[in-house]
Chains A and B, each alone.
Chain A
Amino acid sequence: MKYLEGRKYVIQAIFLAIGAVYLIKLFYIQVLDDSYKTAAESNALRRVVQYPFRGLIYDRHGKLLVENTPVYDLMVVPKEAKAIDTLKFCQLVGITLPEYREKITTAKQYSYVRPSPFLQRLTNVEFAAIQDNLVDFPGFYINARTVRGYPHKSLAHGLGYIGEISPRQLEDTAYHGYRQGDYLGISGLEREYEQYLMGKRGVKYTMVNVRGIEKGSFKNGAYDTLSEAGQNLITTIDLKLQEYAEKLMEGKTGSIVAIEPKTGEILSLVSAPYYDPSLLTGKELGNNYMQLLRDPVKPLFNRPLMATYPPGSIFKLAQALIALQEGTISADTGFPCNWSLVKCSHRHPYPANLGIAIEQSCNPYFYQVFRSVVNRGRSSNVYKDVKLGLDDWNQHIKTFGFATKLGIDLPNEKRGLMPNSQFYDKIYGSKGWKFPTIYSVSIGQGETGVTPLQMANFAAILANRGYYYTPHIVRSVGENGKPLPEYSVKRYTSVDPRHFPPVVEGMQRVVESGTARYASLNHIGVVICGKTGTVQNPHGKDHSVFIAFAPKDDPKIAIAVYVENAGSGAIAAAPMASLVVEKYLTDTIKTASRKRWEHDMMTGSFYKWGD
């Protein structure tokens, strides 16, 4: 019997061995392996980002352009929503039983225990009706969030829209701090001023149980941070004028840009065709965006900043200014209207001075003006001479903001094109071109590309007689803030201000007795200065262009209107510009004939008129 006693040690050893094995395993998972701690945190700690109220956007008179509207989603947690009176519930929210089953199935496929949207974007009425009765239906609750709302349907391109951050942006270090599912500005002001509008996010740590139900704050909120609302933007836009200009452009393709010359503030910025900005909010954003993208008239294309056109005859003003600066002409220089150089648009008296030439928009005259700048005989080699002349000219023209990005506070601005010698060398070779090759630049055709914004800025330069402020659309970040500092710098062109008056005189004659008599504002006692342009277009009818400013002696508004395929500058762009100016200066359209014009412009009657 005694030898069996030894077995107690065997049994004892088994016990202790298991105890030791368990302690080793426990040491491994509790002390050595950190992954369980992380897993526990992600289990029971929920990091809730506190989204700040995104900044609002106002027009220059304090009218709300972009707001945050609350929307209510009905959420469901399928696991908790089992024991409900389905029929009663369907009556409450107004769906049929099959719809209910379908939605529940979808929710279950997402997650059985996590909340997912059951009905999205309830109206206030629906919300009120459902909210009160929801206590009877466990597993359902209302989730409030905000989306961008637009009290007016204007300025879609300028305002832009917000959307979910893309996977590519998430990887980009420039978007540090954004997380999957965050919204951010994708275009327009929303994008340009994202850092001001977004505000500062807060983070709240809460403890949750296994069903994701909150169980109070973690360590009494020691790690929480508060959110700060985004800053509001006061834009330079005059909503009334914007709406009026948009109405004029309804059904047409083109741009209207109006600038306050004294400040560079943009009063209206119309890109037609336009769209309702509220299309690009909320859950239909994706669908609507694709629809707009596929639309052949390209409503998403922001023409004032992105479309580059030949400027046409308005460019003659710039040619005159550069020639005056270079001293190759004077205000009294006359050139014959020589049709063998270039065809003129119409028969007119001899352009004995610059004023008459501008009034009649004489093509041969400005052919000779441009040639006087480019071919100055500084080299005996004609090829070298034209290069020297063109590059000098190019230096001047860039100071007007052409072929450069002006630096407006909106994304995707295009540079445009003004040729220099390098440009033509690339096309024709170093000895392959001289003035006759490039003459069409003299009248704003050929190898030129100007955005409507640059045209409007040019009008502002003329209004100011030689300088401009960079056009911008935000006058104040925050309620009593300032525009960004780069917008209060006076920028002079390379043309001395003393050369501007003769050109401005010419512009006055254009409206009084020249090509744009329809644009006259005599009936309200305002002198308006302008210049028409009719841009030849290989794809169809001419583009109609007009730039103007008014009043002549104390300019309050400078404007560029570009209407594609509308015909001559006089029949569409000029009347439209003058209507916008009249509206801005007097807040109304006065005479019956002007009202008729307004009607014709809005309905686009000019499309039916002859070439």
Chain B
Amino acid sequence: MRTSYNISQNIDWVTIGLYALMVILGWMNIYAAVYNPENVTSIFDFSLNSGKQLAWIGTSGVIIIMLFAIDYKAYDSLAYGIYWFVILVLLGTLVLASPIKGSRSWLVITESVRLQPAEFAKFATALAVSKFMSSINLRQQNWKDQAKLAGLALLPPSIIILQNETGSALVFAAFTLAFFREGMSPLILIIGAVAVFVFVLTLLIPQWYLAGIVTLLMGGYLWMNFHRVKRYLPTFVGIWVAVLAMVFSVTYFIDNVLQEHQQNRIKVLVDPEIDPLGVGWNVTQSKIAIGSGGFFGKGFLEGTQTKFDFVPEQSTDFIFCTVGEEHGWIGSLIIIALFMALLTRIIFVAERQRSVFGRTYGYCVASIIFFHFLVNVGMTIGLAPVVGIPLPFFSYGGSSLWSFTILLFILLAIDAHRKLDLGR
């Protein structure tokens, strides 16, 4: 039976098409970002980021072939092995790596080839939690299993935080979406959302006012509906205490836990006008670049803001500025539509898996890509704090492209064999 199975008929060509389109558009925008009108070099020039990216794209092709060639069952059976191996590499990097821009997260292979293991921790963790998920039932309130799952998901970001790569660590929060699909209580998502909301409010409103408003609102609600809610009074009081505790700890958290550059990124988010030449520079310039694009954009290679270094990190984290400036709102629309299409397709692919492992992994992939999209595009238009994480398939960088390719194509490899899976 195995021998007669033709995987090419079962490969999801829609996803591959979307992937290819995004990678090629990304490559062209990287060229536009580093393009210098005074010294025009070919898009293939290896001294430029665009030339290097082409090499990363080529090697990604090799990786894709390898991923399809590997026995698909290996992803399931080797999941923990891969996970622990990556944990070891992460720890090793933490100990051995020399700091680059304050971060001990790079493995220097040669002068120009460096790898960031944190990128690969994403798919490894996705595999491990999916594997673990397929062996338990998340809904059955088994505290021990839930704690193990949380541990699996939290161990890599903890090491990554120690490496001083907070941005990459935040990505692991995306797993909650996948867990939610598999039965995690929606309360956790709601609490998370409320926490973010309260956090932002605390930045905008002085804490004593905010505490007063919360108390008044909750007190008022209790007063009006006392008879119906009195059963839940302890919960009610608990929520009140929790919110107040959060309100008062946010300031402490920002001032004492966060490092200065992180504090600034949050302050800039709330008020981009503070210090536009200093901490607000990135956000201000990024918005200027995107905003100057207009409806149709300035045209390929015609962008002045990204080309002349006004926007920092323009081929990596701020690649979306190039799109916004040179291709306008139409360009932004196309990119966002591509992401929406890809995410929708991944959910579709995930849902057609017969195994919990495959489906969970599919949701992990969607969640991770979504989280990157959310934060990366959000920061360029001032809706999210400046967190240095790449835009999947677009940003320049080998580690990033490889890791997203592996992440996505493991799913496609599993998917290609879904009909062989008996499911549960």
How far apart are the CA atoms of A404 and B347 in the complex, in Å?
A: 95
B residues 290-347 in Cβ contact with A at 8 Å: 290-295, 304-305, 307-310, 324-325, 328-329, 332-333, 336-337, 339-340, 343-344, 347
Q: Is the CB of A43 within 8 A of B304?
A: yes
Chain B nearest CB: distance from A227 CB in Å?
Answer: 24
| B328 partner residues in chain A, CB cutoff 8 A | 30
Instruction: Using known A-B contacts A31-B295, A40-B288, determine if residue A15 contacts B344 with beta carbons closer than 8 Å.
Output: yes
What 1/0 flags go to B344-376 for Cβ under 8 Å of A?
Answer: 100100010000000000010010001001100
Give 19 pairs: A residue, B residue, CB < 8 Å, sorted on A: A5-B351, A7-B180, A11-B363, A22-B377, A23-B333, A26-B329, A26-B333, A26-B336, A29-B381, A30-B328, A31-B294, A31-B329, A36-B287, A43-B288, A43-B304, A45-B304, A208-B308, A210-B308, A215-B38
How far apart are the CA atoms of A29 and B378 in the complex, in Å?
A: 13
How far apart are the CA atoms of A232 and B223 in the complex, in Å?
A: 90
How far apart are the CA atoms of A22 and B379 in the complex, in Å?
A: 11
Partner of A11 from the list B180, B288, B339 (CB cut-off 8 Å) is B180
What 1/0 flags go to B280-294 for Cβ under 8 Å of A?
Answer: 000001011111111
Chain A nearest CB: distance from B37 CB in Å?
Answer: 6
Please tell me the size bucket of the interface on A. 35 or more
A residues 30-44 in Cβ contact with B at 8 Å: 30-31, 33, 35-37, 39-41, 43-44
| B183 partner residues in chain A, CB cutoff 8 A | 4
| A45 partner residues in chain B, CB cutoff 8 A | 304
Chain A nearest CB: distance from B255 CB in Å?
Answer: 28
Chain A nearest CB: distance from B391 CB in Å?
Answer: 12
Q: Is the CB of A23 within 8 A of B336?
A: yes
Interface status of B91 (Cβ within 8 A of chain A): no
How far apart are the CA atoms of A27 and B328 in the complex, in Å?
A: 9
Q: Is the CB of A22 within 8 A of B336?
A: yes
Interface status of B152 (Cβ within 8 A of chain A): no
How far apart are the CA atoms of A216 and B304 in the complex, in Å?
A: 12
Q: Is the CB of B305 within 8 A of A40?
A: yes
Residue of B nearest to A12 (CB): B347
Instruction: Using known A-B contacts A4-B181, A27-B329, determine if residue A19 contacts B305 with beta carbons closer than 8 Å.
Output: no
Interface status of B82 (Cβ within 8 A of chain A): no
Chain B nearest CB: distance from A13 CB in Å?
Answer: 11
Q: Is the CB of B309 within 8 A of A210?
A: yes
| A41 partner residues in chain B, CB cutoff 8 A | 292
Known: A5-B351, A31-B294, A40-B325. 14 other contacts (CB 8 A): A4-B183, A7-B181, A8-B347, A11-B347, A15-B366, A19-B336, A25-B381, A31-B329, A40-B292, A43-B288, A43-B304, A43-B310, A207-B304, A210-B309
Q: Is the CB of A37 within 8 A of B181?
A: no
Residue of A nearest to B309 (CB): A210
A residues 204-241 in Cβ contact with B at 8 Å: 207-211, 215-216
B residues 180-214 in Cβ contact with A at 8 Å: 180-183
Secondary structure of the B side of the interface?
helix
Residue of B nearest to A208 (CB): B308
How far apart are the CA atoms of A71 and B289 in the complex, in Å?
A: 39
Q: By CB atoms of chain B within 10 A, which of A14, A27, A30, A209 has the most?
A: A30
How far apart are the CA atoms of A7 and B347 in the complex, in Å?
A: 11
Residue of A nearest to B37 (CB): A216
Interface status of B177 (Cβ within 8 A of chain A): yes
B residues 229-257 in Cβ contact with A at 8 Å: none
Residue of B nearest to A209 (CB): B308
Q: Is the CB of B304 within 8 A of A26?
A: no
Q: Is the CB of B291 within 8 A of A29?
A: yes
Q: Is the CB of A40 within 8 A of B289?
A: yes
Q: Is the CB of B37 within 8 A of A30?
A: no
Interface size on B, residues (CB 8 A): 47
Chain A nearest CB: distance from B236 CB in Å?
Answer: 26
Q: Could you tell me which B residues sit within 8 Å of A by CB distance?
A: 36-38, 177, 180-183, 285, 287-295, 304-305, 307-310, 324-325, 328-329, 332-333, 336-337, 339-340, 343-344, 347, 351, 363, 366, 370, 373-374, 377-378, 381, 383
Q: Is the CB of B347 within 8 A of A30?
A: no
Interface status of A16 (Cβ within 8 A of chain B): yes
Partner of A25 from the list B295, B363, B370, B383 (CB cut-off 8 Å) is B383
| B307 partner residues in chain A, CB cutoff 8 A | 209, 215
Q: Is the CB of B309 within 8 A of A35?
A: no
Secondary structure of the A side of the interface?
helix
Listed from nearest, the 4 A-B pairs whose CB atoms lie closest are A36-B291, A40-B292, A209-B308, A44-B304
Chain A nearest CB: distance from B305 CB in Å?
Answer: 5
Q: Is the CB of A26 within 8 A of B344?
A: no
Residue of B nearest to A214 (CB): B38
Interface status of A128 (Cβ within 8 A of chain B): no
How far apart are the CA atoms of A39 and B370 in the complex, in Å?
A: 31
How far apart are the CA atoms of A10 and B347 in the complex, in Å?
A: 11
| B374 partner residues in chain A, CB cutoff 8 A | 18
Instruction: Using known A-B contacts A22-B383, A39-B292, A216-B37, determine if residue A30 contacts B324 with beta carbons closer than 8 Å.
Output: yes
How far apart are the CA atoms of A409 and B320 in the complex, in Å?
A: 63
Q: Is the CB of B310 within 8 A of A216?
A: no
Q: Is the CB of B351 within 8 A of A29?
A: no
Instruction: Using known A-B contacts A8-B347, A11-B181, A43-B305, determine if residue A26 contacts B324 with beta carbons closer than 8 Å.
Output: yes
Instruction: Using known A-B contacts A4-B181, A7-B181, A15-B344, determine if residue A23 contacts B291 with beta carbons closer than 8 Å.
Output: no
Q: Is the CB of B339 within 8 A of A26?
A: no
How far apart are the CA atoms of A441 and B377 in the complex, in Å?
A: 90
Chain A nearest CB: distance from B304 CB in Å?
Answer: 4
Q: Is the CB of B291 within 8 A of A30?
A: yes
How far apart are the CA atoms of A210 and B304 in the complex, in Å?
A: 10
| A215 partner residues in chain B, CB cutoff 8 A | 36-38, 307-308
How far apart are the CA atoms of A30 and B292 in the complex, in Å?
A: 6
| B180 partner residues in chain A, CB cutoff 8 A | 7, 10-11
Q: Is the CB of A37 within 8 A of B308?
A: no
How far apart are the CA atoms of A39 and B272 in the complex, in Å?
A: 15
How far apart are the CA atoms of A40 and B370 in the complex, in Å?
A: 30
Q: Is the CB of A8 within 8 A of B339?
A: no
Q: Is the CB of B340 within 8 A of A19?
A: yes
Q: By CB atoms of chain B within 10 A, which of A22, A23, A35 has the most?
A: A22
What 1/0 flags go to A58-101 for Cβ under 8 Å of B?
Answer: 00000000000000000000000000000000000000000000
| B329 partner residues in chain A, CB cutoff 8 A | 26-27, 30-31
Instruction: Using known A-B contacts A19-B340, A44-B310, determine if residue A37 contacts B304 with beta carbons closer than 8 Å.
Output: no
Q: By CB atoms of chain A within 10 A, which of B288, B324, B377 has the most?
A: B288
Instruction: Using known A-B contacts A4-B183, A216-B38, determine if residue A15 contacts B324 with beta carbons closer than 8 Å.
Output: no
Q: By CB atoms of chain A within 10 A, which of B294, B308, B339, B378 has the most?
A: B308
Chain A nearest CB: distance from B314 CB in Å?
Answer: 11
How far apart are the CA atoms of A8 and B182 in the complex, in Å?
A: 10
Chain B nearest CB: distance from A543 CB in Å?
Answer: 63
How far apart are the CA atoms of A483 and B329 in the complex, in Å?
A: 61
| A207 partner residues in chain B, CB cutoff 8 A | 37, 304, 308
| B333 partner residues in chain A, CB cutoff 8 A | 23, 26
Residue of B nearest to A15 (CB): B343
Chain B nearest CB: distance from A219 CB in Å?
Answer: 10
How far apart are the CA atoms of A37 and B289 in the complex, in Å?
A: 8
| A21 partner residues in chain B, CB cutoff 8 A | 383
| A40 partner residues in chain B, CB cutoff 8 A | 288-289, 291-292, 304-305, 325
